[in-house]
Structure 1
């Protein structure tokens, strides 16, 4: 009996997941869904994922069925003599190994809360390992649905879960589950480790070095002095502020003594963007890229070299409508950036991480590089839940611009951490 149930779950889970993807992607034909998955992962990738899902389902089904049957027999033992229950177990259509396990459990049974707690601990780790591994894979299908794309952003968290569960399964000698955790660990290590590896040197002649500070100040944050104080401590040449309310716009005028040049735009009462600079801002322009909040564009002349600064605050992809809006903004930002002839610094709160397929498509088409490379992933949001923190405040640069340093600043009352970067600008 348990073999039939195990086989049903082993084959049923991948099929259920496939139909879930079909539903989320709004495809009418299951073959079109398979074609989309094939386009994302290729033939070998599809085979590997299918085998992995089958392995996880098989391991899970064996453990789950055994646990459920054991619980059922334990309930019956409360109303049935031990000898009669053992005779009943002998008549069950299950394997001999499972019968022996059941009999042993009743001869040594302990229904105390401590015993139940011991049973729950392994199951908690098993559930965590399965969840982290599945979410690791669903993130690569982010182009199909906004919920799938949201699972692509938490690679660091999946890595930590994979590491913790791997140690637990090794200590408790659960080899099959250790393999699942190891797969989760290796895949996410491959996504995170490259961000910490030193980057190759830039052979361009350096004209000057500038420091840029960017901060989403949060429209209802009232810690104005903290932001002003941070700017004075970090001493940037350019400060870019996002989610600037009308009150914030007024408070930021305190920076005009140190930053004689400014360029601002107010999209609404609560949303705006402000650029303060010690370097003259040339050709300032407001671009409506894809709708929603406007993008500020301006040129900086750094010892004869013109650098174009692009400051954007993209939509938050928490619904289908805002998901499509953000992706449309990224597409139009891609086309806009490709037309710029000077070195570029494109930054802001993009509400996307480096692991999203939409981010990867942007980088591929624009050939810009992320300022984080070689310095770590630097999570910046949300400050209110550090364990879930992810890097959504981005800075993308032309390859000829060298990153001397980049780091996150201290908390200033916002749900975002400021990001400060030192850039070496090439000679003209």
Structure 2
């Protein structure tokens, strides 16, 4: 049967299910069953059973609930308050001053949460009221939080990297290492933009306060030291080859529990709340992962991925043209789906085409996550926009307008890693050569 008919049929079915409010995982399974029954020529039930087991019985996936639990534990501590108090003395000397707390606070919390929405919510619930009370404009405060919150997807350990690594069969440890330099690049781009904005909008900033002595700054930063040490231990153990991603995640959970205990935030209630939060989030992701794995199997039986790869080869599309087309596709999908769903929904069809174009799957994983970050601040379903709307009470379009400059900065970062792929590949290559 013509592959165009198959594609249109499955796409219409998928969007009809999603538009009708059916869960993403059930929509993926439903489209897979239709594809198998109508076009695949294989028993849908048997394939569903075998795929369900194969997609879930993976040692690599054990890192996912552990990293989620680590983030849940720290989310329930005083970490966001400690970050603001610890970072603000150091930011006062920069153009834009306390606006940088959003960027650096999100960068630090991203390294322990792995979630974009959790990063924006945790930092925002302290920083936005503080910045407002001190006279900083709402628009730039909201925009910087929305943009910097996306660092939760890119700076390792990232939940999105684990999901992509399992779906694309790419080393999660190498993905974590590959995300370090792009994450720092994005952090520098955001901070640099705030400096430029402050230089051209001096009249919109509050009066400059007196700088604190160095030792005073250092005393305030003692609250951040345990978190920084935890980050260095988790990522450093992976980079040095002492631990796999799963083992590093277990170390991270123990470290997070110790930090919560020492800060006085660990109680039976917070422990159980963090555990149940991790279970609920993990189950949701695993359910989507199962649906996506089944849809992947259905796609292979219909022959769509190989047909698309053959078409890419026959048309001799350049890697840059393919990446441009995929970027537009992911941004459009980001208007309706969350990041995990985008990755799991598209990898079955997209990855054979990406390989056919000669694009490195490790590099593509970081590129894909960067583009999905754009979707996090794209209306109407940008998760970070929802978070900030709930924190501020402003309407969605006001938040989206404030976030738009940071959307463009994400586009700039995607262009930079495309023009200079070694930004992504340098550390993984060094790790392999060590």
| Bucket of the pairwise TM-score, normalised by the shorter protein | under 0.3
More helix by share: 2
TM-score scaled by length of structure 2:
0.26
TM-score scaled by length of structure 1:
0.26
Max Rg structure:
1
More strand by share: 1
Q: Relative contact order, CA 8 A, sep 6+: which one is greater?
A: 2
